[in-house]
Chains A and B, each alone.
Chain A
């Protein structure tokens, strides 16, 4: 037990709970509450099938977060590579033992539970990269030789997720990885060349039929919604109508005509922000956005205050994943990003994503509680 406990003021669970960043948890809870309310409305005023389960899940997830926050950050650092490689192994196993669902092979069964390795990788990649940069001196970050391991660490899971196929998650993983590398201190010159390369790769993928037809259609529809009025573009138009008709203060709780009349697709998952915006208007949707922004900025401030480099980069990685979710999802429902099927964190219905997000914030909490712990005195071992 002693190894879990820090000397001095960190001793004892109560003491550590006292150091927990409660405002962050309150912000997350408020966001989850918005989810419960909206899911209740989507079910036409019923707790089932979504709202109640969402609330209960969040309860468990919040406990998970608090629990993870109590565990010292250096233990998480010790688990970083194992978690990363376990997730990678699971991803590799997907093509062989995965379940096919809606044309994509994404799930594997583990002890009776369905489990999505790509979700685990979201945590694994963040921890793995943070662990890697933890062992690097500042001047080594932009050294080409030291760029090869992170390139492989990012590239391998991205490629595996891409072939599942799950373009949205692949892009999300790639972007998160790039943000960590950037925050770790990558030189602007290399960063610029990297962006150039990514654009080239994207064009090549489009050009040489690497993308599935529906993926190309999503992008072309995004670029020109009028091409496909009854398919993707139709959903986008209906989503814009819902948001726009919400106006300043919304149509009111459970009064959204677009949602109640089922003009919107995937109302309990991908398009939930639309429902919220229709019923609570500009005030409500911007309020929700501000809650998200508050979480992100709180997270970043935690990152800057942590003593260990692993903690800092882990927090940045978690926050980056979270921020990307929010920006892509909200952008998608109002026509600023392609409809790629990214949920709105803590609001969209779905257990796996909620657990991933809350586990990530568990790490953030650990980084905060143990912000003064400098793991480096144990020696650098890389």
Chain B
């Protein structure tokens, strides 16, 4: 039985409660001690970590510099790009998120694979582009669905825009996605970091590639306050460094002429309306070397490239026989054919042949063990040097070639730009071939029995056939140098940023000016005195066009074919016909512009290339771009500075 007063149990409870209370105190002081450790002792460490949580440094991608023509017309610029990014770390299940996105914007299997590849490569903490160039409607729907799209970030970026499209693709090139090789090539971590920004593009081809450093601009940086879900809560203006747009590039090109030339080149010849025009044209200012037109058809549209090219389109471009990915003006090598006769005539005079020297052309000439042919049925009859140029008489030049030193011809050709590469900032330029004794030795290195030069080869060489090749650019330079007697060098870039590049020096060429006059007279006769390109004559007396036709042999018509009566080029399939060439300059007195036109498999310069050159040069004469006020690059730089992103 227990009594009322319960001292024994009260005693136990008191003692044990005291112990329990003591235990609680120990616990509370342990907690307080831990708080001391976290909040006082390690405060600095955790404060830093909290700041790292709170602030994320965001790279401000710079706008790419504009590329403009000589008058400031935009050839490459930037436009707004609505796109959706994915931050993998915030998506519970990337596949499910992409499925959800697919309901609004299709994400094909190929792209899905690319996204997973990029996640593996860049890690889960870098945003990766799901899709770009969305229309406004799709972009708003994504924004609307955003609460259900974990890890998806809508973003308004910038993408490259080429307003003239295919008209300037070979000059400007295009930009493309960053590759591992691009990353490896960067010098600083800052550059690498910039290149890792989602959707960042670097120059892949053309000037975009060559002037990548100048065009890219400088990255800015800014701290942003983000929440645990990666959403930007606040942009911290303090301490932010704005990005700087890349330097503008001012070209020598005249956009209007360029567009016109592209149209002229693409227009089919009257006689063969069904034939595609695979052609190239170069127009330059013979005084400054400014390239006004650098055209090649057919051409691709660079706007298809900077958004990630469609594989079908890519296959089509690659497989086309008209080679739309090839810049024929710089990378196409063609036998200069009869256009070389203007060089041959100079070389002949340098070798002592007088312009009054005549030869009688009977259409063919026996030399060595074979017949060398002239193009005109029945022959030309008696021709002096000017007449031989005017009518493009082969026999006249064969006769000279019998005694002409091939090395003299080669040296003369080199003085006029053949075999030379010009630094334009466009990759893929080809040097062509200038045949000479030395060339043959090198070409047949290891085969001493084949290294000897035969005079018979000089007969082919003097009319621009045989081993000769040249690019349309070189032919244009050749015409410009013949027109001026100066070693004009072509250029494509007038100014980088506000730095105006000086026109390259054009020293006088070491030939007798009187020799050049003979050739110029001959070229004038070609167009204006009923020569081979009479129909390419310009009527305007202030803009008399002097030119020279040529055709570049692709296949020799075989004896067997000749026996079958197959003598006409028109009867051959397109790919076996000769290329058509035309070189020209104007005005005949006091030359200012030179032009070279190539029409692949166009058969004859007179019929296919000359008229195109005439149409282009007529427009050049009309515009006379060199007499116009050019854009002030400093103005462009000021505009770019206003584009700084804060």
On A, residues with C-beta under 8 Å from B are 137-138, 179, 182-185, 238, 240-248, 257-258, 260-263, 277, 281-282, 285-286, 289-290, 292-293, 296-297, 300, 303-304, 307, 309, 312-313, 316, 320, 323, 326-327, 330-331, 334-336, 374, 376-377, 380
Give 8 closest A-B pairs by Cβ, nearest first. Answer: A244-B46, A245-B50, A282-B39, A185-B12, A261-B227, A183-B16, A244-B38, A304-B14
Contact indicator A258/B53 (Cβ below 8 Å) = yes
A-B contact count (CB 8 A): 153
B21 interfacial by beta-carbon distance below 8 Å: yes
In the assembled complex, the Cα of A312 lies from the Cα of B6 at a distance in Å of 12
What per-residue 1/0 map shows which CB atoms of B30-51 lie under 8 Å from chain A? 1110111011101101110111
Which residues of B from 45 to 69 have beta carbons under 8 Å from A? Answer: 45-47, 49-51, 53-54
A215 CB, min distance to chain B CBs, angstroms: 22
- Please, which residue of chain A has its CB at the minimum distance from the CB of B52? A241
Cross-chain contact B20 with A183 (CB below 8 angstroms): yes
User: Is A334 a contact of B34 with CB atoms below 8 Å?
Assistant: yes
19 A-B pairs with C-beta separation under 8 A = A183-B13, A183-B16, A241-B53, A246-B39, A257-B50, A261-B233, A282-B35, A285-B35, A286-B32, A290-B28, A293-B28, A297-B21, A304-B17, A312-B10, A326-B28, A327-B31, A331-B31, A334-B31, A380-B1
A292:B28 contact, CB within 8 angstroms: yes
**CB of B17 to closest CB in A, whole Å:** 5
Of the candidates A179, A247, A304, A327, the one whose C-beta lies within 8 Å of that of B47 is: A247
Interface centre among B13, B32, B226, B229 (most CB of A within 10 A): B13
Contact residues in B for A296 (Cβ distance below 8 Å) = 21, 24
Q: Tell me the bound Cα distance from A289 to B16 in angstroms.
A: 23
Question: Roughly how many angstroms separate A145 CA and B51 CA in the complex, as a whole number?
Answer: 61
B120 lies within 8 A of chain A by Cβ: no
Q: Pick the residue among A260, A263, A304 that contacts B13 (CB under 8 A).
A: A304
**Least CB distance, A280 to chain B, in whole angstroms:** 10
Given A245-B43, A376-B2, are A185 and B233 also a contact pair (CB < 8 Å)? no
Instruction: For A240, give its contact among B8, B20, B32, B38 (CB under 8 Å).
Output: B38
- Cβ of B225 within 8 Å of any chain A Cβ, yes or no, is yes
CB-defined contacts of A241 to chain B, threshold 8 Å: 46, 49-50, 53
Residues of A within 8 A of B564 (CB): none
CB <8 Å contact, B50 and A242: yes
What are the residues of chain A within 8 A of B53 when measuring CB–CB?
A: 238, 241, 257-258, 261, 263
Partner of A303, one of B1, B13, B24, B225: B13
**Would you call A380 and B2 a contact (CB within 8 A)?**
yes
Contact residues, B199-235 vs A (CB, 8 A): 225-229, 233
Which residues of chain B have C-beta atoms less than 8 A from A262's C-beta? 227-229
Q: Does B428 contact A (CB under 8 A)?
A: no
Known A245-B49, A320-B20; judge A330-B31 contact (CB<8 A). Answer: yes
State how many angstroms separate the Cβ of B263 from the closest Cβ of chain A.
59
Chain B residues with CB under 8 Å of chain A are 1-4, 6, 8-10, 12-14, 16-18, 20-21, 24-25, 27-28, 30-32, 34-36, 38-40, 42-43, 45-47, 49-51, 53-54, 225-229, 233
Q: Are A247 and B17 within 8 A (Cβ)?
A: no
Contact in complex: A312, B39 (CB < 8 Å)? no
A182 — nearest CB in chain B belongs to which residue? Answer: B16
**Chain B: which residue is nearest A335 at the CB level?**
B34
- Across the interface, name the chain A residue whose C-beta is closest to B234: A261
Collect the chain A residues with CB atoms within 8 Å of residue B4's CB.
374, 376-377
Q: A374 CB to closest chain B CB, in angstroms? A: 5
Q: Which residue in B3, B46, B229 is a CB contact (below 8 Å) of A243?
A: B46
A279 CB → nearest B CB, Å = 12
A263 near B9 with CB under 8 A, answer no
Q: For the complex, what is the distance from the CA of A377 to the CA of B25, rounded to whole Å?
A: 36
Smallest Cβ-Cβ distance to A137: which chain B residue:
B2
B49 touches A327 (CB 8 A): no
- Distance between Cα atoms of A289 and B359 in the complex (Å): 118
- Chain B residues near A309: list those with CB within 8 A: 6, 9-10, 13
A244 and B30 contact, CB distance less than 8 A: no
Chain A residues with Cβ below 8 Å from B27 are 323, 327, 331
CA distance A184 to B9 in the complex (A): 8
Name the contact of A184 in the complex, choosing from B12, B36, B225 (C-beta under 8 A): B12
B43 in complex: contacting residue of A247, A293, A307, A330, CB < 8 Å: A247
Flag if A323 contacts B24 (CB, 8 Å).
yes
Contact: A300 with B17, CB < 8 Å?
Answer: yes
Apart from A243-B35, A290-B28, A313-B13, what are 13 other A-B pairs with CB-CB below 8 Å? A183-B20, A241-B50, A244-B42, A245-B47, A247-B47, A261-B225, A293-B24, A296-B21, A297-B21, A327-B28, A336-B31, A377-B4, A380-B1
Q: Contacts A241-B50, A261-B228, A262-B227 known; A248 to B13 CB distance under 8 Å? A: no
Inter-subunit contact B35/A286 (CB<8 Å): yes
B34 proximity list for chain A (CB < 8 A): 331, 334-336
A307 with B31: in contact, given A244-B46, A285-B39, A380-B1 (CB under 8 Å)?
no
For B10, the chain A residues whose CB sits under 8 A away are 304, 309, 312
Cα distance A312–B18 in the bound complex, in angstroms: 13
A51: shortest Cβ distance to chain B, in Å? 21
Alpha-carbon separation in the docked complex, A345 to B46 (Å): 27
B54 CB, min distance to chain A CBs, angstroms: 5
Interfacial chain B residues near A243, Cβ < 8 Å: 35, 38-39, 46
With A248-B43, A261-B227, A286-B35 known as contacts, the answer to whether A327 contacts B24 (CB < 8 A) is yes
Provide the bound-state CA to CA distance between A286 and B28, in Å.
9
Interfacial chain A residues near B228, Cβ < 8 Å: 238, 261-263
- B234–chain A nearest beta-carbon distance, Å: 10
Q: Which residues of B contact A246 (CB under 8 A)?
A: 39
Per the bound structure, the CA–CA distance linking A262 and B620 in Å amounts to 66
- Distance of A262 Cα from B43 Cα, bound (Å): 20
Report how far A263 CA is from B225 CA in the complex, Å. 12
CA distance A246 to B40 in the complex (A): 9
Pair B39/A281 contact, Cβ less than 8 Å? yes
